A = this chain, B = another copy of it.
């Protein structure tokens, strides 16, 4: 499992509350790891008990107080240990692929609409990622302007992960086009 590790990475990049973490899991981190606020609060509590994170009560004006979490030494050690630990290449879970094979035993027209919906969703995500890239990583080598600062690594790694998300969405769009073309080939004849 890696939710606690994803939280550690996010808190290292910037300390924050459970609520803020939940926000981030809808944005950048959420591109490759989803989590609801429930999971986050639960895991944060456990991490606090284990001494992985420090908590600080932050009063706010105009809104409820928040608990700001930051990574403690034990948490850093735990993350480091996990990073050393090899993981298995993840196995995929594609509901849509099940549906596509299942369409052989049902109405393909329904599947066509479903695939079109998914393609649109992936198009939207791709546009969203590209906008984020333009906003956060402008200019070809602008990121290496500062000479050898360690912050560069953080940014470059964030960028390469984002490029992964873009490549994934592009691949999905292309493949769904292939699926639609395949459906069109034998769909009308029925």
Contact = CB atoms under 8 A, between A and B. Distances in A.
Given A168-B92, A168-B171, A98 B153 contact: no
Contacts of A131: none
The secondary-structure label for the interface of chain A is: helix
A97 B33 CA distance: 9
A16 to B, nearest CB: 15
A136 interface: no
A100 to B, nearest CB: 5
Interface in A80-130: 80, 82-84, 86-87, 89-108, 110-111, 114, 117-118, 121-122, 125
Contacts of A190: 153
Given A93-B33, A185-B156, A186-B156, A76 B100 contact: no
Given A83-B103, A102-B83, A171-B168, A153 B31 contact: no
Given A86-B114, A100-B160, A171-B171, A32 B92 contact: yes
Contacts of A171: 167-168, 170-171
B121 A89 contact: yes
A14 interface: no
B98 A110 contact: no
A43 interface: no
Contacts of A96: 87, 89-90
27 contacts: A5-B99, A6-B98, A9-B101, A9-B102, A33-B92, A34-B92, A76-B105, A79-B102, A83-B111, A87-B96, A89-B96, A89-B122, A90-B93, A90-B94, A90-B96, A92-B168, A100-B157, A101-B154, A101-B158, A101-B161, A152-B186, A153-B190, A157-B182, A164-B175, A167-B175, A167-B178, A170-B171
